[in-house]
Structure 1
Amino acid sequence: MPVIKIGGSIQKDERDFELIAKRIERYADQKGKTVVVTSALKGVTNGLIEATENREKAVEIVSEIYDRHVKLLSKVSEGAEFENAFKALSKLADELFRIAWSIKVLDETSMRVRDYILSFGERMASVTLSAMLRARKIDAEAYTEPVIVTDDSFGEANVIEDLSAMEARKVLDTKSKIVVVPGFIGKTQTNRYTTVGRGGSDYTATLLAKLLGFPEVRLITEVPGIMTADPRKFSGARTISRLTLEEAMELAQMGAKRLHPRTFEPMLDRDIKVYIEGLYDEGFTLVQGGCNSLDKLKGIAVLEDLKLISVESTNIVGKIGSAARVMETAREAGVNIISLSQPASETTIHIVVDSMNSRRLTSRLQELRDLDSVRVEDVSAVSVVGCGLRNKDLFKEVLREASSFELASISRGLRNVSVTFLTSKDEGFNLAKDLHEVVVKWIN
């Protein structure tokens, strides 16, 4: 009984849907139920975000999104299947038009309303995808409401697993063999729509496998697996045939393939296989198991558009809790710290955050007493991931290649294996290119 996730990037037109139908048929076991988790159609989530930001054109934008679904539906279904799905889409569209009109009139929105609007992408995709499957005589039905329960941290909601397990089991009570459910979105205990962050459909799929006891997850996307680096920037990028759970979690945390950072968390202490595979090209990456002596290097990740904030003062030397004060300030500002370090002299605390949140954190830090200065620089972070970093010779080779750059962090514990370097904004790509050559040399 697999959980199959269909990415938004491969839901563009009827040709994609034909390939999707064949892939679902390939993996849908005749003896059990298959859960298909869908993302919104390609570009729809961005369109809905634009509607919340360009509120004057909100009604026009959502109208175009609705028309696109109806047009696609007419190409992938017909007869009774088209009519039933058309009614379901129209009902969702009426609801969406009302909220779009409201934010246009009020010219304001909130994170709660934003999540509500974004939920329509996956809900409408569930209707469209299931209609396409039924038109091909595949026993499928749409489940347009979220199947996970979250808290009310809108925009980046946290899953409440025990309640989500109860909700997810309702999917197994449906009559159809294949159930298409929305990814990315959840609901609070008071029935408010939430989202779990970009890339959240991958996380939804692995979470459902855990909650329902399914042994296998297939994440279907536009590329044949996770690659050693972004193939659009690195011509020698190769598909990684196997990742350990530790390596996959590390790459996800660093934004590989735009995976949700918590995609592989549900696999901890569970016997679940996850395949990341391409719709257009044969090939996949299997995520399973832990490190062994044969594992070498697996990939690199580059985080750009970062800020290095340096907090300097002689007044913090020897004072217990100085770094804790900085971290607490970041927490109060709602800013995630990517990296934090403090030299032995204790006169400076270095923090790496994304650029979008840096100004908010900087202004809060400048309000703290006992600080001489708060400096901000543009930086990039380049990470090498692989269990092979436990091998001293491999680790030394990586360090030699990056000897002229600042070492930001080393993680060689039981769960995570990576080394990260900080560079200036302009030097990140060159370092990544050199390190990628080392990775490809040692990949296995």
Structure 2
Amino acid sequence: MPILKIGGSIQKDEKDYELIAERIEKYSSKTDKVIVVTSALKGVTNSLIEATENRDKAVDLITEIYDRHVKLLSKLVEGPEFENAFKSLSKLADELFRIAWSIKVLDETSTRVRDYILSFGERMASVTLASVLKSKRMNAQAYPEPVLVTDDSFGEANVIEDLSINEARKLLEIDSKIVVSPGFIGKTVMDRYTTVGRGGSDYTATLLGKLLGLSEVRLITEVPGIMTADPRKFPGAKTITRLSLEEAMELAQMGAKRLHPRTFEPMFNNDLKVYIEGLYDEGYTLVEGTCDSSDKLKGIAILEDLKLISVESTKIVGKIGSAARVMEKAREAGVNIVSLSQPASETTIHLLVDARSSNTLTSRLEELKDVNTVNVQDASAVSVVGCGLRKKELFKEILREASSFDITSVSRGLSNVSATFIVKRDEGFNLAKDLHEVVIRWTN
């Protein structure tokens, strides 16, 4: 019994839905039951976010979202199935319109209300996809409510697995061969909608695989698997046929294919295989197991739009708690630290953060009495991933390639299957390009 996750990037038009239906039918013909986890249609989540930020346009944006779903239905679904889906979508839209009017009048949106608004993208997609499948005589049913129980950390909610198991099992009790359920969203014990972060449908699918004790999850998207690099920026990038769990975790954390950072976390200590496959082209990446002795290099990833904040002072040398005070300022500012490093001399603490957070954190750090200067510069983080980095000869080759660049720091990742280089932003792409060429030579 597989779980199939249908990405939002492949839900653009009726042609996509024809291919999606064929893919689901292919897998459903081999088993008694299939759970389909769906993202919102392409662009819908961004439109809903815009509605929360530009409240004067909220009603118009929601009207466009509703019209888009109905138009799609009209091209793919007929008769009673269209009428039933139309009623369900209209009910959801009416609820969403009421919220839009309220936030326009109040001119205010809390994180809780924002998550509530975002939940409609996946809920409407569940209804739409299930109706398309039923119109093609598949035994399908929508279950448009979230099955994940979370805490109330709206925007980045944490799943409470013990409570989610019973909710997840409800999918198995539905008397339909194909059950379509929303990804990305959850509910608190008080029945308030939450979201688990962008890309959360991937995480939803793998977590359901774990909770239900299944062995196979397939993430269906626009590209045929995880590639050695972004093919739009790096000519010659190719699909990675197999990744160990450690390698996949490192690439996900660095934003490869925009995977949720926790996508592969449910695989730990579970006999779960995850396939990332393309809808339009043949090919896939299999994520399974741990490092193999034959593994070499797999891929590169680059994070841009970062700032490197360097806290410098001789007064912090040997002083217990200096780094802790710096980190406390980051916590107070609500800033996530992407990377942290400090030389053994203890004279400098380097903090890598998202560029949008740098001004807030910098002003906080300047409040520290024992700090001489706080310097800020544009930066990029470039990672190369592969179990082969555990081998000295391969790691040395990567270091040689990187040595011609002005490197601020080098760090090793999970189980030493990655190496990340912090460089000036204007050197980031060139370093990534050179390292990708090494990866291609050693990819197996």
Shift of 1:439: 0.2
Superimposed CA distance per residue, residues 142-178 of structure 1 (whole angstroms, 9 cap, x where no aligned partner):
1111110111111111111101111111111111111
Shift of 1:369: 2.3
Alpha-carbon separation, structure 2, partners of 1:28 and 1:375: 57
Alpha-carbon separation, structure 2, partners of 1:265 and 1:81: 38
Q: Which residue number in structure 2 is paired with residue 77 of structure 1?
A: 77
Q: Which residue number in structure 2 is paired with residue 136 of structure 1?
A: 136
Shift of 1:371: 1.3
Larger deviation, residues 421-430 vs 15-24: 421-430
Q: Which residue number in structure 1 is paired with residue 410 of structure 2?
A: 409
Tell me the TM-score normalized by structure 2.
0.98
Q: Which residue number in structure 2 is paired with residue 89 of structure 1?
A: 89
Flag structure 1 segments of 5+ consecutive residues without an equivalent: none
CA contact (8 A) 1:405 1:421 kept: no
CA contact (8 A) 1:126 1:144 kept: yes
The amino acid across from 1:192 in the alignment is: R
Change (3 A) 1:407 1:274: farther
**How many residues of Structure 1 are paired with residues of Structure 2 in the alignment?**
443
The amino acid across from 1:68 in the alignment is: R
Superimposed CA distance per residue, residues 351-372 of structure 1 (whole angstroms, 9 cap, x where no aligned partner):
0011122222222222222111
Change (3 A) 1:31 1:281: closer
Shift of 1:407: 5.5
The amino acid across from 2:206 in the alignment is: T
Q: Which residue number in structure 2 is paired with residue 380 of structure 1?
A: 380
1:98-247 maps to which residues of 2 (within 5 A)? 98-247=98-247
Alpha-carbon separation, structure 2, partners of 1:70 and 1:87: 10
- SS at 1:421 equivalent: strand
| Alignment RMSD | 1.1
Shift of 1:333: 2.2
Are residues 1:16 and 2:16 paired? yes
Alpha-carbon separation, structure 2, partners of 1:291 and 1:408: 26
Q: Which residue number in structure 1 is paired with residue 327 of structure 2?
A: 327
Q: Which residue number in structure 1 is paired with residue 362 of structure 2?
A: 362
Larger deviation, residues 54-63 vs 314-323: 314-323
Tell me the TM-score normalized by structure 1.
0.98
Superimposed CA distance per residue, residues 285-308 of structure 1 (whole angstroms, 9 cap, x where no aligned partner):
000011121000000000000010
The amino acid across from 2:88 in the alignment is: A
CA contact (8 A) 1:220 1:277 kept: yes
Superimposed CA distance per residue, residues 82-116 of structure 1 (whole angstroms, 9 cap, x where no aligned partner):
00000000000000000011111111111111111
Q: Which residue number in structure 2 is paired with residue 389 of structure 1?
A: 389
Are residues 1:421 and 2:403 paired? no
Alpha-carbon separation, structure 1, partners of 2:88 and 2:16: 22
Alpha-carbon separation, structure 2, partners of 1:63 and 1:94: 10
Change (3 A) 1:150 1:413: closer
Segments of 4+ moved more than 4 angstroms: none
Alpha-carbon separation, structure 2, partners of 1:57 and 1:123: 22
Q: Percent identity?
A: 77
Are residues 1:39 and 2:55 paired? no
Change (3 A) 1:132 1:293: same
The amino acid across from 2:178 in the alignment is: I
Q: Which residue number in structure 2 is paired with residue 283 of structure 1?
A: 283
Larger deviation, residues 402-411 vs 58-67: 402-411
Superimposed CA distance per residue, residues 243-266 of structure 1 (whole angstroms, 9 cap, x where no aligned partner):
000000000000000000000000
CA contact (8 A) 2:11 2:41 kept: yes
CA contact (8 A) 2:250 2:414 kept: no
CA contact (8 A) 1:390 1:412 kept: no
Alpha-carbon separation, structure 2, partners of 1:376 and 1:364: 13
Alpha-carbon separation, structure 2, partners of 1:166 and 1:359: 45
Change (3 A) 1:413 1:114: closer
- SS at 1:181 equivalent: strand
Superimposed CA distance per residue, residues 229-256 of structure 1 (whole angstroms, 9 cap, x where no aligned partner):
0000011100000000000000000000
Q: Which residue number in structure 2 is paired with residue 61 of structure 1?
A: 61
Q: Which residue number in structure 1 is paired with residue 265 of structure 2?
A: 265
Larger deviation, residues 70-79 vs 257-266: 70-79
CA contact (8 A) 1:130 1:141 kept: yes
Shift of 1:347: 1.3
CA contact (8 A) 1:312 1:347 kept: yes
CA contact (8 A) 1:339 1:408 kept: no
Are residues 1:350 and 2:347 paired? no
The amino acid across from 1:201 in the alignment is: S
Superimposed CA distance per residue, residues 108-150 of structure 1 (whole angstroms, 9 cap, x where no aligned partner):
1111111111000000000000000000011111111111011
Flag structure 2 segments of 5+ consecutive residues without an equivalent: none
- SS at 2:303 equivalent: strand
Shift of 1:315: 1.4
CA contact (8 A) 2:122 2:184 kept: yes
CA contact (8 A) 1:7 1:221 kept: yes
Alpha-carbon separation, structure 2, partners of 1:407 and 1:377: 11
Alpha-carbon separation, structure 2, partners of 1:376 and 1:230: 28
